[in-house]
Homo-oligomer: A and B are copies of this chain.
């Protein structure tokens, strides 16, 4: 199931960077959901290269086509197959990749595993693979919104040492899209954009943190003991290219508090339970508690830099490599829709699992 994610809302992605295209099959989608390409394309546009001056300039329209699973604008309950044709294949830009392993890329490990690799554009290791995830995530987000009243958001929380101040309980999608950094803190966004531009000019790259948020998740989603909601979120996030870390609620910072400081007191009001703080991040014992779910994902600086680097060739001889042409100075703005997509995939899967065992 290497290329499949989810137990009940099952998403299988396929495709290499410079092959015919990339796509996804969703199995298990509930029937009678209104769905057309117009529900999918906006998120692909947020993921697409060339959307702003601070992301990689590869020219791809990334137009999605739904091949199956809908009829007269509604889902059938059968597999939804979607794909995007590849356009901007420039194998010449990758000629050196045929014979050399790019440092901190997956070139060598794919070769070690499979004994073969599609070197043009990085093949399956290209971020183009996430097109399928984002397309499926758009479907998942729609189900969550329409059937469960759940909203999923993500935004850039930190670029290198530039930290944004954002309240997960109140931030809105429209705030995130006000700038090309996808950071709802306007002042921080301005500095982030400047930093990324400087990196682009220097041929270097920079990483940071995307924060993911889900609001409106009812108490009760998540499965003891291995498929805890935060465990599946962690897996989802660490499956994204360039991600190196995940924490939820108080996360790594929470270890500085004692238990009596850290606990979230329960409070009752009008026959409902809430917690007066939310260091748990909306999940306790692997199951949602009705509070806002929020977590952070660390993305390393993109490996492709416009500088000569020490590496080895496919004959296992020492050499150097310098990337040519274009590079992506910061993956974060484009990672935002990816984080949203993976969050939505986890949540809709757990919503259906909860419905299966506990009846809704």
A99 on the interface (CB 8 Å rule)? no
Task: Using A74-B116, A106-B284, A360-B360 as known contacts, list a sample of 7 further A-B pairs with CB atoms less than 8 Å apart, ordered by residue number in A.
Answer: A2-B227, A8-B8, A23-B68, A78-B124, A160-B255, A252-B252, A255-B298
CB proximity of A102 to chain B, nearest CB, Å: 9
Set of chain B residues within 8 Å of A220, measured between Cβ atoms: 109, 112-113
CB proximity of A80 to chain B, nearest CB, Å: 8
A125-B224 contact in complex given A285-B105, A301-B259, C-beta closer than 8 Å: yes
A336 on the interface (CB 8 Å rule)? no
Set of chain B residues within 8 Å of A75, measured between Cβ atoms: 116
The digit string for A213-227, where 1 denotes a CB below 8 A from any CB of B, is 000001111111111
A selection of 14 A-B contacts at a CB cut-off of 8 Å is: A8-B357, A16-B76, A20-B66, A29-B357, A71-B123, A112-B218, A112-B219, A205-B260, A230-B238, A231-B235, A233-B238, A254-B301, A263-B309, A355-B356
Contact of A358 among B19, B31, B257 (CB under 8 A): B31
Contact of A259 among B226, B235, B305 (CB under 8 A): B305
State how many copies of this chain the complex holds.
Answer: 4
CB proximity of A293 to chain B, nearest CB, Å: 12
Set of chain B residues within 8 Å of A187, measured between Cβ atoms: none
Is the beta-carbon distance between A76 and B266 smaller than 8 angstroms? no
Is the beta-carbon distance between A209 and B12 smaller than 8 angstroms? no
Binds B, one of A42-50, A171-179, A242-250: A242-250
Is the beta-carbon distance between A106 and B16 smaller than 8 angstroms? no
Is the beta-carbon distance between B2 and A225 smaller than 8 angstroms? yes
The digit string for A109-135, where 1 denotes a CB below 8 A from any CB of B, is 110111111100001110001000000
Set of chain B residues within 8 Å of A57, measured between Cβ atoms: none
Is the beta-carbon distance between A254 and B300 smaller than 8 angstroms? yes
Is the beta-carbon distance between A266 and B83 smaller than 8 angstroms? no
